[in-house]
Every structure is written in C-alpha cells, then in structure tokens.
Amino acid sequence: MSGVAEVSPKYLADIATNGVPVGYKQTEVGEIPEDWQVTTVGKVVSITTGNKNTQDKVIDGLYPFFVRSQQVERINTYSFDGEGVLTAGDGVGTGKIFHHIDGKFDFHQRVYLMYNFGDELDGYYFYIYFSNNFYDRIMSMTAKSSVDSVRREMIADMLMVMPPKAEQAAIANALSDVDALISELEKLIAKKQAIKTATMQQLLTGRTRLPQFALREDGTPKRTKPSELGEIPEDWEVTGLGDIAAITKLAGFEYTNHFNSYKDGGEVIVVRGTNITKNILDLSDVKTIPTSTSKLLPRSQLSAGDIVFAYVGTVGPVYMIREDNKYHLGPNTAKITCNNKVAPEFLRTYFTSYLIKQQIDEHLSVGAQPSLSMGKIRSFNILLPTIAMEQTAIATILSDMDEEIQALEQRLGKTRQIKQGMMQELLTGKTRLIKGEAHG
C-alpha cells in the first residue's frame, strides 16, 4: 500500500514502557494520534428523516429511493440533492444497512439521512467510520440480541474520531478502492451465476445437446419424445431417484448409541446438515467419532462418490464426498449412493438445479422444522441421459463453472477480510496514510 509507514521498534518499545506510544494520546475511544480529534456525530453532521413510504416506489423511476433495506428502490421524486449517508431507522436491518450517495434521491420516513459535512469532514470517510461502528454502539445500548428501532440521539451522541481532512480523504480513497473491487467481484459473481443457471437449464433438460451427442449414427439430428416431464431427448429417460441410487439416513439406534454424545478427538468427521453450506462442505464446526465407531456402522459410512443431502432444517444443500474413510453420515443428512446407471457427479449437479428445488418445494413438510421423508426423496424424478459419457460431459462443464464461481467467492471473502483489517488499522490511526510519517 503506497504511503503506509512501517511500525518502528521504538513505537513498540513505547507501548511496552509507557503504555501510550509517542505521538499518541489516550481518549474515551482509546489511543489515537495526537493530531486527531474526538467529537460526536451530531456536532459534525446534520440529521433528518425522509417523508415517503415504501409503496411510493416506482419501477424504473428517475431517482434512487432509499427504504429500510439494502435494496435501493426507484422513485420519480427527490427531496435531497447532495452528498449524504443513510441508515435504516427500524426493521430487520437496523444497524446493518448503510448507503453513501452524492446526487438527487428520496428516502423513507424511517430512514435517517446524515448530511452537511462541512469543510472539516470528508463524506466518504464519515460513511466508512459510521458504518463500521454504529452497530456496536446500538448493541451496547440494549440487553437484547437485536435493536427494534433507532432514535435520533443514538446517532447524534455517537463518538467518532476525526483525523485532519487530508488524512480522512486518504483513508476514504484507500477504502473506496477496496469497496470498488468488492463491488466488481460481486457483479462478476452474479453474472457467472446467471450464466451457470441458464446453462444448467439447457443442458440438464436436453434442450441444448453437446455436439458430440446431438447426432444419430447416420448423422441425422436426434429428436425428442414425450414424457411425464414434457418433451425430452429421444435417448434420455425419466427415472425415479430410488431406481438409480440407494438412499440411507442415520438409523435411530445409531444416533442413540453412538451419536447422541460425540467423542472428543475422533478421526472421522460426522457430516451433519449444518455442515453443508451453499453446496460446499463447511468444517468450521465439526463433530467427530473414532474410526472404530465408524466401522461398527457400515450402512452409514461415507465413501468417495457418495452424495450427502440435507433433508431437515435447511433442506436442499448437497455435497459429494471425495475421500474414503474420512467422513460419516450424521443427523439430518441423507446418503445417496449411485448405481451404475448414473454418474455421481452428474447426480450431484442435478441436485443443485431448479429441477430438484421444484420437487423439494412440492414435497416439503413444514412442522417444527422443514423436512422431507425418505419416501419423498426416493420418488424424485430425474431426467437422465442414457449414455454415461454424456452425463460425465455435462457434469464436467457445470462443475468447472462451479469451481470458477467458488474461486471468485473465495477471492471476495479474502478481499472483505482485507478491508476489515484495513479499517481496523486506518480508523484507529495504528497505520497512517500520510506519506513519510513514521510512528514514534
């Protein structure tokens, strides 16, 4: 990062010996550089609310319309023209929704606008500081796990630090560059997702055939035939999931005898429904069992090629196991083991499509938790190419698209982490962006 000074040994020594390093001061918000000031939001900005309701929105309206959500609507009126920062005054996103804008816009009667930044405050710096600190402030003012509404004084009395204007602008520029990168990554991921969805709809229904499978042996184009799912390729078939795979869940005696109290230090990871997120295996919170226990329960062992499907709670996520002897079926997940009629990767891909989601929605039982019975899962209709090579080719194309999207999402996650780290450093003055300045 251009202009970032290294933390000197003297700076670290000052902390160890004096508590506060040279060039810093202790304030009600902690240690900050000596040339920074502590103030309150109400002293440096004006605060107001809008006068519109959500139903005033107009599709394809002329101006942005800020309501109590992250989604920006449109409207044909504007009540403000200039730079401002907005946040929801109530609703589910209280303390989590923030917008920065410079131009004409309108806003909801329960949305707060902060404006009139003056000569000493950079508007984008204020947006960054406020959005990074406001939620913690309002949460500290309630004993509950959420905040129902925001009062004006919650905003006005919030403490904030103000570096000199030039440093505010430097901080704002650095973080706005990261915000721009995050925004571009989000747009690219959305575009790739849309392309993948459209590709799935074509390839998994046979509406578009891969060239190597589109012709008969005599060179004429393959036709379609009627089925219970409508017109399908002449060499495809509709089959029940139970006819091409074995579906297993954790038996009651297995849970009672072996899983109701997970062992510490086990070698085998138990895959529960909560471990499958966005069709990726999430190992941030895992339970394990010993290998000896897993071997006692062969019917629910997981092997490479097995598909695990969450069927209770958050119903629908799937993951294909890629290693032997490492995972075991856990509660709220079903094991789907393919027979020789279907390639596991094709079936995994099929389970991520709208073709299965529609059937989940149709058969879902909604009680204390949404769930599917084993019988309903076995009855799922699967539209299947009868040529194994075509199944594999379709799965490979869609799997490659999945991997590309996952790589972009990982990059997005890392970029967001970098931004969080930058904010922690820049908004406290631990790292300075003024060229040539060094700590201590």
Could you give the domains of the chain? Answer: 1-12+165-220+387-440 (1.10.287.1120), 37-162 (3.90.220.20), 236-385 (3.90.220.20)
Is residue 113 within 8 A of residue 86, CB to CB? The reply is yes
If we measure between CA atoms, which residue out of 263, 320, 315, 256 comes closest to residue 288?
263
- Check residue 108 and report its DSSP letter: B
Cβ contacts of 97 within 8 Å, gap of 6 or more? 68, 69, 70, 87, 88
- What average pLDDT is seen over the chain? 91
Helix, coil or strand: residue 259: helix
pLDDT along the chain (440 residues), means of 10: 49 59 90 94 96 95 95 96 96 89 96 95 96 91 76 95 94 93 96 96 96 95 95 96 96 81 81 91 91 91 97 95 94 95 97 95 89 96 96 97 95 95 91 58
165-216 confidence digits (pLDDT tens)? 999 999 999 999 999 999 999 999 999 999 999 999 999 999 999 999 999 9
Residue 383, beta-bridge partner list: 238
If we measure between CA atoms, which residue out of 26, 25, 33 comes closest to residue 437?
33
The pTM of the full predicted model, rounded to 2 decimals, is: 0.79
Is the CA virtual torsion 231, 233, 234, 239 positive or negative?
Answer: negative
pLDDT, position 46: 97
The 3-state DSSP composition of the chain as helix, strand, coil percent (nearest 5) reads 40, 25, 35
Cβ contacts of 314 within 8 Å, gap of 6 or more? 273, 274, 370
pLDDT, position 14: 56
Which H or E run contains 242? helix 241-244
Q: In this prediction, what percent of the chain has a pLDDT beyond 90?
A: 78
**Where do the DSSP E strands lie in 76-195?**
80-88, 98-107, 111-115, 159-162
pLDDT, position 439: 43
pLDDT, position 368: 84
